Chains A and B, each alone.
Chain A
Amino acid sequence: MRAEFINELLNATVTVLETMAMVTPKPGRPFIKKKRISVGDVTGIIGMAGEKGLQGTFAISFSESCILYVVSEMLGEDFTELNDEIRDAVGEITNMISGAARAKLADMGYHFDMAIPTVVCKKEHTITQVTKAPVVVIPFQTEKGGFIAEATLWRGSAG
């Protein structure tokens, strides 16, 4: 996957959380997913369909403590459990990160269509990307726990 895709997703993730929740996540070193499985408590997933068969997915997966902190800051009230409001907020966060990254990528000549995000909410669920293309994972830390952003991109069908 090209470095500019990773950079724009990383920048968009930081910008969305800083702007909407006033939380500044610290990115760790990106790595290529080896086991093809990640673990999280709440995950937002969105597809990316571009020109000339370019396709991909972006997923952001929060630990429970982290997303409770982020949404509490975002909406200005204390959230103490994973509920519909948390699920809704993760969907919107995923949507905003995808939108912000797609706008920057469009400026570079990579055009992706908009899509509607999906949210999975279950303690310690796994995320498996069904593709042979490399999956890049960016770990982040906040003062109340961590989350990961992962993305994959391929041309043609099913990678």
Chain B
Amino acid sequence: MLSTDSKILVVDDFSTMRRIVKATLKQLGYERIVEAEGGEEAQKIIKDDQIDLIICDWNMPGMSGLDLLKWVRATDSFKDVPFLMVTAEAKRQNILSAIQAGVTNYVVKPFSKQVLAEKIQAIAEKA
């Protein structure tokens, strides 16, 4: 189970979305939040740090959120880290691809802060 001491990685190429996600996490009591602007930067953080939850955008320049998810699930040392995909790609096929790749849950943009908070809470209780 996640606690308010858990370290959470927020990955998005748009600072606006990182701010919205961070504000929601802080409202839920999480203070240990690290950020990455893309998949490659996220890989370095995940390798070097103990990350307890990854909240990641799908559509980013360079490495996509889906590619980062596949890399996380294929790497023994952090393959079980919960992964919440935040995506504007609401097409059924995309959601199926994320599920097949092992996503823990996903939030479709646009979303209210309430919906995002509920998804994070649901993961926190199961993790």
Contact = CB atoms under 8 A, between A and B. Distances in A.
Given A15-B110, A19-B110, A74-B20, A88 B15 contact: yes
Contacts of B59: 95, 99, 114, 116
B37 to A, nearest CB: 11
B99 interface: no
B14 A91 contact: yes
Contacts of B88: 95-96, 98-100, 114
Contacts, number: 64
A156 interface: no
A85 interface: yes
A54 B90 CA distance: 20
Contacts of B89: 99, 102-103, 114
A19 B14 CA distance: 18
A1 interface: no
Interface in B73-127: 87-93, 108-112
Contacts of B108: 103
The dominant DSSP class at the A interface is helix
A106 B92 contact: yes
**Size bracket of the B interface:** 20 to 34
Interface in A81-110: 84-85, 88-89, 91-92, 95-96, 98-100, 102-103, 106
B97 to A, nearest CB: 12
Interface residues of A, number: 25
Contacts of B109: 16, 20, 95-96, 99-100
Interface in B4-36: 14-17, 19-20, 23
Interface of B: 14-17, 19-20, 23, 59, 61, 87-93, 108-112
Give me the 7 closest cross-chain CB pairs, A-B, nearest first: A99-B88, A103-B90, A19-B110, A92-B14, A89-B16, A16-B110, A106-B91
Interface of A: 15-16, 19-20, 71, 74-76, 84-85, 88-89, 91-92, 95-96, 98-100, 102-103, 106, 111, 114, 116
